[in-house]
């Protein structure tokens, strides 16, 4: 039996179990409060069951310790059926205890689910922060803007040959390349983009369909910026809006359609 304890060593190799341990540690006060409520309901239920059932069922409810088994089975909604109350008052008590058990375990589940979701968001935010900090495009924007950008961006991983965007489809996000390389399939010859470069902004600025198919030529990590978050970020960061707008105009060339100038960029030029 003691030799089986070694299995707990696997916890250190499982990020999910390690996260669950941190969740339980962070929420221990709330979990202990619910546990205290569980114990109080358990003791009160077994005491009342003893008072209501001791005369008609002395074998199962002859003492409070004996009634504790019924209270545990009923409160956890397991319901083995081996011990049941016989009086009307006992059955009403049993119904109340069943509902109380559902509420108690719902509280436990809610606390753990909320804590686990927060832990997952924190881990994802740290991963995104690390990816954003590695993009040369964001090197000089400062920690506050990195935190804001990391909140909006979503990491994406692509295998070689994977189609990231397809020509003619509706553009709903743009991408920043973190690692790897992508191929923009345009004429007269394809263009290759590497770490620190971005693509997909033309469809967001012009509201036109994608003008090229882009595939990953090697294992690629990218950060996706949704169209709603794109316009929000452009409104808040005029310098970032100006850089993206200038790069989009350069890619369209002198004969391309005019791009709408972001209001944030116009305000920045006016203040300058």
Q: How far is CA 247 from CA 182, 202, 240, 243, in A?
A: 17, 9, 11, 6
Burial of residue 225 (number of CB atoms within 10 Å: 0-12, 13-18, 19+) = buried
The side-by-side arrangement of strands in the sheet containing 191-193 is 163-165, 213-216, 182-185, 191-193
- Residue found by looking up tokens 């996706």 in the block: 224
What's the rounded Cα separation, in Å, for the pair 147 and 126?
10
The reply to whether omega before 188 is within 30° of 0 (cis) is yes
Judged against a pLDDT cut of 50, whether residue 20 lies above it is answered with yes
Q: pLDDT, tens digit, for every residue of 116-141?
A: 888 887 777 777 777 776 666 666 66
Judged against a pLDDT cut of 80, whether residue 37 lies above it is answered with yes
What's the rounded Cα separation, in Å, for the pair 198 and 205?
14
Judged against a pLDDT cut of 80, whether residue 218 lies above it is answered with yes
Q: How confident is the model at residue 260 (pLDDT cuts 50, 70, 90)?
A: low
Contacts 24+ apart (CB under 8 A), 147-152: 148/233, 148/236, 149/233, 150/125, 151/125, 152/225, 152/226, 152/229, 152/232, 152/233
Q: How confident is the model at residue 266 (pLDDT cuts 50, 70, 90)?
A: very low
Q: Give phi and psi for 24, each to the nearest 5.
A: -65, -40
Query: Tokens standing for 47?
Result: 């005491």
Judged against a pLDDT cut of 60, whether residue 91 lies above it is answered with yes
User: Parallel, antiparallel, or unpaired for β 163-165 and 198-199?
Assistant: unpaired
Judged against a pLDDT cut of 60, whether residue 264 lies above it is answered with no
The pLDDT assigned to 76 comes to: 87
CB 173 within 8 A of CB 181: no
CB 105 within 8 A of CB 75: no
What's the rounded Cα separation, in Å, for the pair 29 and 104?
15
Domains, the chain, ordered by start: 12-125 (1.10.287.70), 140-271 (2.60.120.10)
CB 101 within 8 A of CB 76: yes
C-alpha atoms less than 13 angstroms from C-alpha of 204 in its C-beta half-sphere:
25
Q: pLDDT, tens digit, for every residue of 38-87?
A: 999 999 999 999 999 998 988 889 899 989 999 999 988 887 888 888 89
What's the rounded Cα separation, in Å, for the pair 77 and 71?
10
């Amino acid at each position: 039996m003691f030799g089986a304890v070694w299995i707990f060593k696997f916890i250190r190799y499982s990020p999910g179990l390690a996260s669950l341990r941190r969740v339980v540690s962070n929420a221990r006060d709330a979990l202990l409060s619910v546990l205290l409520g569980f114990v109080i309901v358990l003791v009160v239920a077994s005491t009342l069951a003893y008072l209501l059932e001791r005369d008609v069922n002395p074998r199962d409810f002859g003492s409070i310790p004996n009634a504790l088994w019924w209270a545990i089975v009923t409160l956890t909604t397991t319901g083995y059926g081996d011990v049941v109350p016989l009086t009307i008052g006992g059955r009403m008590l049993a119904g109340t205890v069943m509902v109380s058990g559902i509420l108690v375990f719902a509280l436990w589940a809610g606390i753990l689910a909320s804590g686990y979701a927060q832990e997952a968001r924190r881990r994802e935010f740290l991963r995104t922060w690390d990816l954003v900090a590695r993009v040369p495009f964001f090197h000089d924007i400062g920690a506050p803007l990195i935190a804001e950008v990391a909140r909006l961006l979503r990491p994406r991983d692509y295998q070689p040959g994977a189609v990231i965007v397809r020509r003619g489809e509706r553009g709903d996000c743009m991408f920043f390349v973190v690692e790897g390389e992508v191929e923009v399939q345009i004429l007269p010859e394809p263009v290759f983009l590497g770490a620190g470069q971005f693509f997909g902004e033309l469809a967001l600025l012009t509201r036109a369909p994608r003008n090229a198919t882009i595939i990953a030529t090697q294992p690629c990590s990218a950060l996706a910026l949704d169209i709603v978050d794109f316009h929000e970020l452009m409104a808040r960061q005029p310098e970032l809006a100006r850089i993206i707008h200038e790069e989009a105009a350069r890619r369209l060339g002198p004969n391309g359609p005019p791009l709408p100038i972001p209001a944030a960029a116009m305000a920045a030029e006016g203040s300058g």
